[in-house]
Amino acid sequence: MNNVFNIPVRVYYEDTDAEGIVYYANYLKFAERARTEFLRALNLTPETTKNDERCGFVARHVEVDYKKSAFLDDLLTVTCQIKEVKNSSVTIVQEILKENEILTSLEITLVYININRHRPTKIPDTMRLKLV
């Protein structure tokens, strides 16, 4: 696996339930933000990957392990690391940490699809080189 990318995420009121505990689905949102910034850091934004075919990554499979809760106003670190790149998919492992303690771990497989045809398509070589 290659280097770990990370971003800070602050927990706001909108992220929590009435007890000030982060609502479980919001961990997926934190992970999505980190993946978006990770791809941006690799210069793989929708603008830079545009071509004649409408293609993009969609989530195919997600595994989440909730270990501990985050709370209102916590400062979290969300990491991304590529685990595997295949012909038309990429698997990314992520962790959500508070002060180096893992709160949540995720593994997500993204599939590169042709949006017009709703079918997986080969990840272009120029993109693949940035992912490996």
pLDDT digits (tens, 9 = 90+) for 98-117: 999 999 999 999 999 988 88
Q: Give the active site residues.
A: 17
The reported pTM is 0.89
| Residue range of the domain that includes 61 | 5-131
Q: Is residue 78 a contact partner of residue 30, using CB atoms and an 8 Å limit? A: yes
Q: What are the CB-based long-range contacts (under 8 Å, 24+) for 41-46? A: 41/5, 42/130, 42/131, 43/130, 44/127, 44/130, 44/131
pLDDT digits (tens, 9 = 90+) for 48-74: 665 656 788 899 999 999 999 999 999
Residue 83 belongs to domain with CATH number = 3.10.129.10
Q: Domain count of the chain?
A: 1
Exposed e or buried b for every residue in 12-41, given b needs 16+ CB within 10 A?
eeebbeeeeebeeebbbebbeebbeebbee
